[in-house]
Chains A and B, each alone.
Chain A
Amino acid sequence: MNKKFLGISVAALAMAVSVGSAVARDQIRIVGSSTVYPFTTAVAEQLGKAGGIKTPVVESTGTGGGMKMFCEGVGENFPDATNASRRMKIGEFEGCQKNGVKDIIELMVGYDGLTLALSKKAQPLKLTRAQVFLALAKQVPGPDGKLIANPYKTWNQVDAALPNRPIEVLGPPPTSGTRDSLHELIMEPGAEQIPAMKALKAADRKAFDAAWKSIREDGPYVEAGENDNVIVQKLETNQNAIGVFGYSFLEENVAKIQGASIDGVMPDMDTIASLKYSPSRELFIYIKKAHISVVPGLDKFAAEYVSDKAAAEGGYLEKKGLVPVPKAKLATSKANIAAQKVMTGEGLSK
């Protein structure tokens, strides 16, 4: 009995291996940012419903992880596209080139605003990015301008105009793309607004970068995990707490939470699309040109993503919380995909 079982299972494994590697991939595979995931899945589903091709498979791996997999090579074992909640970095672009992923098509698909939100029952909050930096950084400039461990425990210690409430910020962990945005959209520009930090930047660039890249670990900043719904629940029960997340969550949960104004601007669709609301960012999807002729439907997928019914104002992605791209910019994206224009690596940041 045992031998028979063993025989069957060995045969099954052999069969499965041959099936697995013999069949060419006929389904689009996408990896990348958890911020872009809800939008890409919506596009994938629309494409699947329209018929003709299989619904693309979308994995949520985070922007950095997605880039790594994307740049590993060309071929059916590697993803066809990756979502990114920031632009590709020069290092990643070079890594791609080295691994033979030469021709990459870049599409800007929309915006996401990073919002600080608090319970609807709490009193509204007006912050500046500098204040948020002072409240959250591990080290802040002391009275003599030298960096000291962050002494602030309440908001009014940061700035007397702010309420006397303990600093309690629920935010993303370091693995999250949202955390990258917190650093890049709020902490760095916030630090630059403080004279002592500006002086430090001129004197010691490394120390300055270290200052805005490190978030305090002594309690006021709580890493709340990638699940933003949990943050919303915590905000509801704790009126002192402030949550950090993407604008789509604020929009979906307007019944429970309100946004805090940053640098005098409240987050909404308009202020984010015009980039007036300072902590807003662009969302991208990167596609391998070499896969377009091989994987069926990849060109259709790209075209669907930037089509008017998806990405434009009033499109279904707006209903999902994406802040749509202005018409002119969307037209550029459409032209890029129609002409299959590839990236040159110019203008990418480090």
Chain B
Amino acid sequence: MTDAVLTFAQTGPRKVDFFSEEAMARVQKRYRAEARFKAYGLGAVVLAGIFVVILLADIVSKGLPAFFEHRIALTVTLDAAKIDPEGKRDIEVLRAADYQRLIYDGLREEFPGVSDRRDRRKLEGLVSTGSGNDLRTLVLRNPSIIGQKTTLPVLLSDDADLYLKGIGTRVERAVGKGTLDIKQQGKTVELVGSAGAFAAPLADVKARLKRLASATEFELQGLSAAQATANAALEARREDLTARVKDFRQRSGDPASAETLDPATMPSELVEIAGGLVRLTEIAPGRAAGVVLLPLAADATRSDSWHRTTYTTPESNRRITDIEIAWLESLRGRKLTEKGFAWRFFTNGDSREPELAGIRGALIGSALTLAVTLLFCLPIGVGAAVYLEEFAPKNRLTDILEVNINNLAAVPSIVFGLLGLAMFLNFFGLPRSAPLVGGLVLALLVLPTIIIASRAALKAVPPSIKEAALGVGASHQQAIFHHVLPLAMPGIMTGTIIGMAHALGETAPLLMIGMVAFIVDIPQAISDPATVLPVQIYLWSDLPEVAFQAKTAAAIMVLLAFLFVMNGAAILLRRRFEQRW
């Protein structure tokens, strides 16, 4: 201030016009720059927010169906002769009985018409191969029900479950007009009605042919444009396409001609009539022929109440066939299907059947691994931090140590896996795939993080506190352990929890020590084989079954929830115990 006055006195008042045009322009420019910077910042936050929202929405929308499962209420006859032929109720005999077969028998009673071996296998494929285990548990818990009939919820297989969740095909249903004559002949049926009875499905088929024609024509045009040299194979293909276009055009142009339905390209057209279901193979305006999927009343020759049903996805484009859909729809029509929360997702270990696979093994594996990690890295990390911060002499050696701790925090995690393989498995001979080894490897991984965070927390405690303790006669160690460390604890805890969250998400180091494995049994101890959550996600994402994609997303949701809880705890600890000076 005095300086300014001095200069002012020496040079005389300098005329500064704060309101000149240039000055105003400069002010405006500064304001604009600030506004631009604010906009960039806001834009960055919004962009990041949008990505997070898209990611979460994608995961949640994919994963939510995995938390639900479909079951059918099936009545099963618990035939004593099949379960316990000797009648001694010996627990070993009861356990060894073929309960899956009993469920299959119950299912066949629901659809007595199914006699063909192939169809039978398809029907049995509707229920999960794990449903027999549920029945076994039920019988073992209460052996007195043997010999009776019991109704129990039976888990459906992954494909059937996906269909009932609406993934697979859409089903359209419309009331049919007029009266149909039914001519049954074994598995085939002819339906004859008035002239316009099948006009609607036929028109749809023709419209589809028209679209096929234009698609083929488009392909043909691409071919003609690309073809520069005369080539025999190309010419043949061109002729084939031309003929097909002509054929499609001709067929779609004539609204009255009969059509056959091709399951590879056409949606499935079905007719519900006389308590049964017929899949059409041939359609003409006034008549149609088809194959029986669900049996019609044997004496039905005429009916005026019928429905037209369409499965919009062509049969060859979906995993579930027409007859399986017919069975499921029939069960649904009889109110035998139910949707429920998939508790088994949280009670089962891994499985190769998507409907049976659960997250429990991985959750417990993660918990055990993290427990081992915490047990090792917290005392060692805090001890190292206290020593380095408060006791270690400041010399070249401790400088090198400090640089190396910082470097270690940036080493790629796979390196720790290699270290774990060489040291814990090959040298110490610890068991492969065990949470003990995983925990040790992850402890090495998060140790630098914890040391750095703990040192920062210790440094943040005001020196006056230590000095006061020393002043009243405490030893250096007493001053630190009684006064400084407790005050630094919230910061240390926050750092530790963030380190733990980091460890929870690691897969790469676990790859080397065999924790990337198919493990069904739930781990009971730290030396049992186990996987962890991120590994489970990785393993599921790699499997071919479509239903595992939903499981993958669901497992990600569980992992995220775990992370939120841990980070939430970190924030809570900080809020509750943090001291400000």
Contacts and interface: CB of A to CB of B under 8 A. Distances in A.
Interface string A275-314: 0000000000000000000000000000000000000001
Given A12-B375, A316-B129, A41 B518 contact: yes
Contacts of A1: 481, 485
Contact of A249 (B96, B237, B431, B544): B544
B527 interface: yes
A156 B226 contact: yes
A261 interface: no
B234 A160 contact: yes
Given A6-B383, A44-B518, A44-B520, A161 B223 contact: no
B487 interface: no
B436 A48 contact: no
A41 B351 CA distance: 8
A20 B372 CA distance: 14
A27 B520 CA distance: 12
Contacts of A328: none
Given A160-B234, A164-B222, A255-B318, A20 B431 contact: yes
A2 B383 contact: yes
Contact of A255 (B219, B227, B317, B351): B317
A249 B436 CA distance: 36
Nearest to B378: A5
B358 to A, nearest CB: 13
Contacts of B518: 37, 40-41, 44, 57-60
B180 to A, nearest CB: 33
Contacts of A51: 95-96
Nearest to B382: A2
A333 interface: no
A2 B316 contact: no
Contacts of B546: 252-253
A254 B544 contact: no
A160 B516 contact: no
Contacts of B130: 49
A12 B378 CA distance: 14
B231 A160 contact: yes
B193 interface: no
A138 interface: no
Contact of B529 (A57, A160, A253, A320): A57
A163 B222 contact: yes
Contacts of B379: 2, 5-6, 8-9
A332 interface: no
Q: Interface residue tally of chain A, by bracket? A: 35 or more
Interface string A247-285: 011011111000000000000000000000000000000
Contact of A55 (B429, B481, B520): B520
B380 A248 contact: no
Contacts of B527: 16, 19-20, 23
B494 interface: no
A59 B433 CA distance: 9
Contacts of B211: none
Residue in B130, B352, B516 whose Cβ sees the most chain A Cβ within 10 Å: B352
B543 A59 contact: no
B432 interface: yes
B431 A59 contact: no
Interface string A213-228: 0000000000000111
Given A29-B432, A51-B95, A161-B233, A57 B317 contact: no
A8 B375 contact: yes
Contacts of B544: 38, 228-229, 248-249, 251-253, 321
A212 B527 CA distance: 46
A123 B433 CA distance: 46
Given A16-B527, A255-B317, A255-B319, A226 B542 contact: yes
Interface in A14-53: 16-17, 19-21, 23, 27, 29, 34, 37-38, 40-42, 44-45, 48-49, 51
B517 interface: yes
A16 B526 contact: yes
B62 to A, nearest CB: 12
Contacts of B380: 6, 9
A57 B316 CA distance: 36
A153 interface: no
A42 B529 CA distance: 18
A51 B140 CA distance: 15
A77 B517 CA distance: 16
A120 interface: yes
B554 to A, nearest CB: 16
Interface string B498-542: 000000000000000010111111000111010000000001011
A249 to B, nearest CB: 5
A156 B383 CA distance: 69
Nearest to B428: A17
A3 to B, nearest CB: 9
B542 A227 contact: yes
Closest 9 CB pairs of A and B: A5-B379, A164-B226, A161-B233, A55-B520, A252-B544, A58-B518, A59-B517, A41-B518, A42-B352
Given A60-B516, A248-B544, A252-B544, 16 more contacts: A9-B379, A12-B375, A19-B527, A20-B429, A20-B434, A20-B436, A21-B430, A41-B518, A42-B352, A57-B529, A59-B516, A123-B219, A164-B226, A229-B541, A252-B319, A252-B545
